[in-house]
Structure 1
């Protein structure tokens, strides 16, 4: 009886706050109507976004109240009203689906909020009398007091149903959040790649070119007085030029490997397999095996991403897994390029212990692809990647 009474008291407080929101709702609806009328007359267009912002504050209070009663958060996502010109803010206020849901809730709350509160207030004294006698004389559990929390749960359920986004809106919101995270990862990956290229050019190619320029200058000075020394300096300069070219080729391969252009994805992956230090089997289903092959060929960006996925997976297998064998599978559907790399090593691959796997995930996410890495202790390690593409 005591627990039932405490629950009923808590429900009455909840419904009392809901009744207060119902009264606030009358004022908010009136404010929206005034703002809408003023907007139609143009002179008061700036009132509408502020009126909608007031409705949002009231709806947020209801979301918190409903979440406190039910223990589950009430989701909500909105178009911002503080960005852009006045026309943009008015358009966002009118077209935002969340605004329409909140206005529908506000109008409904002015009815069911008061009705359920009055019903609870009428039920509570009757429940006290009946359950007091029922529990005191018959030693039975209360039967009417639990109905008061039931009314509060009904009110919370109605608010949740009206304020929660539809499945389509929720899917759109999740997709927008996913794309925002993907964009942030792509920007980070792009910045890291630019820094790597800058570092490689500064520490490698530029250093060799500076040394080359100095040796040519010394050779010019010594040419008339000491031809033999000048000839040796020119030989050294030629070696420096070749080293600079090698470094430059290394940088270019990191941007877009020329082997992809020359041999296609399958040929480039086979070249990776041959130089990996592992025994690697490569299978390809319906993909071009060179520039002259009639098989399907993905866009250059997709091929480059797939190439770097295989390169990172084979490099990790050779360095860390202890495996002697690996397998690479390439296949495609009308809308996807699939890459699967498996090694029979010790497993335990962890994205948090290095930047390579994280870089792969960001590179793939930038193309709206997916990465699934499975690497239990003891192996095997399997990386499966799907890249959307139009063939």
Structure 2
């Protein structure tokens, strides 16, 4: 009994999937058929009877090719778990320059909106994946889609035969029912091998995608460096530089008052000494923000432990032994950890955090977990998205698990070897 119900379920699920494959695969041929029908309806005497169908076929095929391919990838991933990379070119960052113009990777525009629209149009029209998508829609319409259309076509035939009397109609209806039931669990399965064979990106497309990714990373790095330089300049101008100017004025005044008012001169010198101490502290903090000395002297693990001691949270640090990495990687991971802990205090209102550092044969994995309220997401332009872009420069990545109510677990991975 259980086997029978399982078989019935397989038939029902297979029939639904076959209908989905047939609808997706025959969508563009349906546009072609509609174009031909339009040309026939207008008649041979109408000058638009041949031009309008051609325009409809061209525009409709190009506009529907990418949605059809995306739908096929979704169905294959959902039904079989096979993820087929799209290979589409990704848009790079749109950056505003000092001249006021916006650079989108192709040209300069006067506004951010115009730069984004121009970038999207150029990427859509110049993408190498367009030819692959158009080829795949033709292959799909000739292979998986007709096979998937067998079960629904058989059921339609059975329904038509059911309203017509006669032994031949009954016999044909019974045969159609047998075909629909027998082919239902299997008719849709041709979609996966066809999609894997013809829909995956080519080597040239993968190379172009990698070039776009590196271009975007270079632009992100340039923007981040410019922002960091501005921050350092601002901190120096508003902090240490102002104090050093005041220190020079105090010493000059004390020099003039040395003979006339020694007590006032000594008071000014004491103030100057206090200002020099404060300026030295600010310079040390500034240097620590650029590159902590303990990070260069003792490595990532000890630097993270020192950071945990100064954190307002109760932070527990665990490390899989002591290891040293390339300085740029250590710096990126250190400031990534610092940013995550700061977010846990500022946004998640956490009270405790755990930092784990481990290394294996493939690279380094750093986990930061807090007991905050959760809900953290990598939003475009946000800190977590920027962290992912910074680690992508080293072929790394970020994984975020942060349900509402917490806890939040962020995993940073970088492929590298220890020194």
TM-score, L = length of structure 2? 0.55
- For 2:34 and 2:387, the matched residues in 1 are separated by 55
Aligned equivalent of 2:217: 182
Instruction: For residue 262 of structure 1, report the CA deviation from its aligned partner.
Output: 2.8
- For 1:334 and 1:347, the matched residues in 2 are separated by 32
- For 2:325 and 2:31, the matched residues in 1 are separated by 66
1:201 paired residue among 236, 239, 246: 236
On the 8 A contact 2:31/2:60 being kept in 1, the answer is no
- For 1:174 and 1:269, the matched residues in 2 are separated by 35
Q: Is the partner of 2:68 in helix, strand or coil? A: coil
- For 2:263 and 2:66, the matched residues in 1 are separated by 91
Show the 5 A alignment for 1:204-223: 204-223=239-258
- For 2:397 and 2:340, the matched residues in 1 are separated by 15
On the 8 A contact 1:189/1:362 being kept in 2, the answer is no
- For 1:182 and 1:324, the matched residues in 2 are separated by 35
Show the 5 A alignment for 1:368-383: 368-383=395-410
Change (3 A) 1:334 1:62: farther
Q: Does 1:302 align with 2:329?
A: yes
Instruction: For residue 225 of structure 1, report the CA deviation from its aligned partner.
Output: 1.2
Structure 1 stretch displaced more, 342-351 or 195-204: 342-351
Q: Does 1:313 align with 2:332?
A: no
Q: Is the partner of 2:355 in helix, strand or coil? A: strand
Instruction: For residue 307 of structure 1, report the CA deviation from its aligned partner.
Output: 1.0
Aligned equivalent of 1:31: none
On the 8 A contact 1:189/1:359 being kept in 2, the answer is no
Change (3 A) 1:64 1:353: closer
- For 1:77 and 1:358, the matched residues in 2 are separated by 20
On the 8 A contact 1:186/1:365 being kept in 2, the answer is no
Q: Does 1:239 align with 2:274?
A: yes
Aligned equivalent of 2:68: 72
- For 1:360 and 1:300, the matched residues in 2 are separated by 17
- For 2:87 and 2:350, the matched residues in 1 are separated by 49
CA RMSD, 1 decimal:
4.3
- For 1:203 and 1:239, the matched residues in 2 are separated by 17
TM-score, L = length of structure 1? 0.58
On the 8 A contact 1:67/1:73 being kept in 2, the answer is no
Structure 1 runs (4+) greater than 6 angstroms displaced: 61-64, 73-78, 160-165
Change (3 A) 1:187 1:219: same
Q: Is the partner of 1:371 in helix, strand or coil? A: strand
Q: Is the partner of 1:389 in helix, strand or coil? A: coil
Aligned equivalent of 2:284: 249
Q: Does 1:285 align with 2:307?
A: no
- For 2:315 and 2:34, the matched residues in 1 are separated by 71
Aligned equivalent of 1:11: 33
* Number of residue equivalences: 273
Q: Can you give the 5+ residue segments of structure 1 that lack an aligned partner in the other structure?
A: 1-6, 18-60, 84-97, 110-115, 117-133, 141-159, 288-295
Q: Can you give the 5+ residue segments of structure 2 that lack an aligned partner in the other structure?
A: 1-28, 40-56, 71-85, 90-105, 107-127, 143-159, 170-194
2:412 paired residue among 380, 385, 388: 385
Q: Does 1:326 align with 2:353?
A: yes
Aligned equivalent of 1:364: 391
On the 8 A contact 2:87/2:206 being kept in 1, the answer is no
2:203 paired residue among 168, 182, 186: 168
Change (3 A) 1:71 1:340: closer
